[in-house]
Structure 1
Amino acid sequence: MTTAAPPLPTTPFIHKGELKQVLLAIADISGYTRYMTQNRTDLLHSQVLLTDLTQTILKEIEFPLQVSKLEGDAIFLYAELDDSWEERKTDISRRILSFFEVFTERLTELAESNMCPCTACKKVAALRLKVIVHSG
């Protein structure tokens, strides 16, 4: 059963001197800092796993969502709101929700296929995803 997506907030955004209405979102891997600091000796595996998870989310991003910046484990996104906003807001909501699905699927695959005894590989299942959509 498909449920209706909640309405998304909007916020003004200045782009090239022009004020625009945009949606802002941040997709962030929870537990990243703790994961990286606990696994310094396994840093290479930590980086490989986090890159894999970040790329999994990046593959889900479609227009009108656009990547503004990648910062560590966070993906900063925005979408300009134009005349087609009413038509696109449900699609954007579903797309953002799909981030959780693909992240969880990939995380499960990584954890279940792990044969490496290092701490980074053993603790990958503790990572989580949060997505913040903001207006303000």
Structure 2
Amino acid sequence: MSKASRQKQRLWLVIAFGFLIWGASHYQPYQQNVNKVDTASISSLYQQQKSDVLVEVKGTVSRILSDDNKGSRHQRFIITLPDKLTVLIAHNIDLAPRIDSLNMGDEVHIFGEYEWNDKGGVIHWTHHDPANKHPHGWIRHKGQLYQ
């Protein structure tokens, strides 16, 4: 291979690597076109006893619970929403990384599926779907994305 050919090959590798870095820095969690509700509507979902609704909320961690290790393992914690409603978060740690740095008082931003219960509800599906059949959920904590 000539010197010019090697230089051209290196240039293409540098360009390809640049695109890879650019793409990684602009990555956003995959979202299908879904109807999702925000924090203000969670209280409405709770009052109407609705389930299977995609929600995006911000809240403050008010309690950290033990992991649920039956079946798929879930990291569990409770968040308090701005309207004071509390919601359990069940984050599947078999499919997504555990949030080791989570502490009471931390703010979290969550996208997942709301399920009604008489204690305020549960948000789960806070992870990617390996089968790609359900909208990917996520949790953002201190600038880090967990999915």
**TM-score after normalising by structure 2:** 0.24
Higher helix share: 1
Higher strand share: 2
Query: Which fold has the larger relative contact order, with Cα–Cα distance below 8 Å and residues 6 or more apart in sequence?
Result: 1
